[in-house]
Amino acid sequence: MPTNKSVSKAPITQFVNCRILRDHKLQREDLWVREGRILDPEKLFFDEEGYADQRVDCEGLIIAPGFIDVQINGGYGIDFSQATSNVRGGVALVAKKILEHGVTSFLPTLVTSPPNIYHKVLSEVKVHSGGMEGAGVLGCHLEGPFISLEKKGAHPEQYLRSFQSGGMLDLIETYGTLDNVAMVTLAPELPNSEKVVRELSQRGITVSLGHSVANLSQAEEAVQNGASFITHLFNAMLPFHHRDPGIVGLLTSDQVPQDRTVFYGMIADGIHTNSAALRIAHRAHPTGLVLVTDAITAMGLPPGRHTLGQQVIEIQGLHAYVAGTKTLSGSIATMDMCVRHFKQASDLVLLDDAINVRATYIAGQEVWRK
């Protein structure tokens, strides 16, 4: 097994006086980073006598993994579901701005749109690592248009689609390409969806269940075919019922393959989901919880009228509605975490005791500080 020393001669950064969030606990220890990777301190001590080229004092701060937002529709006046003349510039602007929220990577999310929007936008959004220029892009999240009419939420009805051509052909006709697509939200009760779930999963694209009236058995079948995520749990799906808990039942289902974890997104803004419901979900399936923002164009802007794809959104206080309705359309907040271990990428966030972001690091490099 190679030692830390034999791997590289690159400079080492030591984070000292740390409280590190690891295994759901705050642990007092230092953190060592080289070339964007977290080093094993035991090997470092014996191989390089604890030598560090730079030290970062974290006294009074918490080190946690960088936040990853897997459902963000835009922000700061940028709408990812708009085919503007500068799609890349818009994504870059949001990527830069969300560094101050501790977000180190994200999935630009497109809501239900006409095919020409997907064809234009998806050809412009590329997967890339983050850095000083902004958070990394892990790929796009396509939320729709293959969703339930009954649970469409803020998605425009006129652009909803079914798998009428048998499955994958419908996806290609709609999206144009699946390059740089990381996640697709669909309703598993739609005819021919099982073929789509299998094919997307085989391509390494995460299939998420949402905007759906699926019962539990339909949801379980989708998971058995490869689905592994639930889009904003409790929102835009059948409510929990003791005889048929629907998609929510996946959190405790005994029909989920043993080698698979079903993750579920939740909008923890206190509006889309009551905090008691969030606690119920977390206690039932703590390892699957993924906090998402579902942030929209209005994030970072004052109340008023903005867009969500092809619709106008009205911001009233902390609420966002489709204009002229009382349909909630998204959040104007920001969060989410993934766990890092030794030898993995050192995307980090420094937090104070009130959980305010004080600094953001990508690959061990400071990219934002308050």
Distance of CA 274 to the CA centre of its chain: 20
282 marked as binding residue? no
Using DSSP's 3-state secondary structure scheme, residue 221 falls into helix
**Biggest distance spanned by C-alpha atoms of the chain:** 66
Exposure of 270 by Cβ count < 10 A (0-12 exposed, 13-18 middle, 19+ buried)? exposed
Residue 328 annotated as part of some ligand binding site: yes
Q: Does residue 179 carry a catalytic annotation?
A: no
Task: Output the CA–CA distances (angstroms, integers) from residue 2 to 27, 47, 197, in the order listed.
Answer: 27, 11, 40
* Strands laid side by side in the 54-57 sheet: 37-38, 31-34, 13-16, 54-57
Burial of residue 220 (CB within 10 Å: 0-12, 13-18, 19+) is buried
- For residues 351 and 69, give the distance between their C-alpha atoms in angstroms, rounded to a whole number: 17
211 labeled binding residue: yes
Classified as helix, coil or strand, 97 is: helix
Residue 236 labeled ligand binder: yes
Give the pairing type, strands 19-22 and 62-65.
parallel
Give the whole-angstrom CA distance, residue 250 versus residue 264: 10
Residue from 294, 336, 352, 353 carrying the catalytic annotation: 294
Residue 4 among known ligand-binding residues: no
DSSP 280: H
Please report the sign of the dihedral spanned by the C-alpha atoms of residue 294, residue 298, residue 302, residue 303.
negative
SS3 for 132-193 is CCECEECCEEEECCCCCCCCCCCCCHHHCCCCCCCCHHHHHHHHCCCCCEEEEEECCCCCCH
Tokens of 369: 């500080």
Residue of 157, 155, 118 lying closest to 140 (CA atoms) = 118
Q: Would you say 173 is a known binding-site residue?
A: no
- Asked if residue 330 belongs to a known ligand binding site, the reply is yes
Q: What is the DSSP letter of 320?
A: E
193 is in an annotated binding site: no
Residues designated catalytic: 294
- Which segments are annotated as binding site? 143, 154, 211, 232, 235-236, 243, 272, 328-330
- Which segments are annotated as binding site for Zn(2+)? 143, 211, 232
- Which segments are annotated as binding site for substrate? 154, 235-236, 243, 272, 328-330
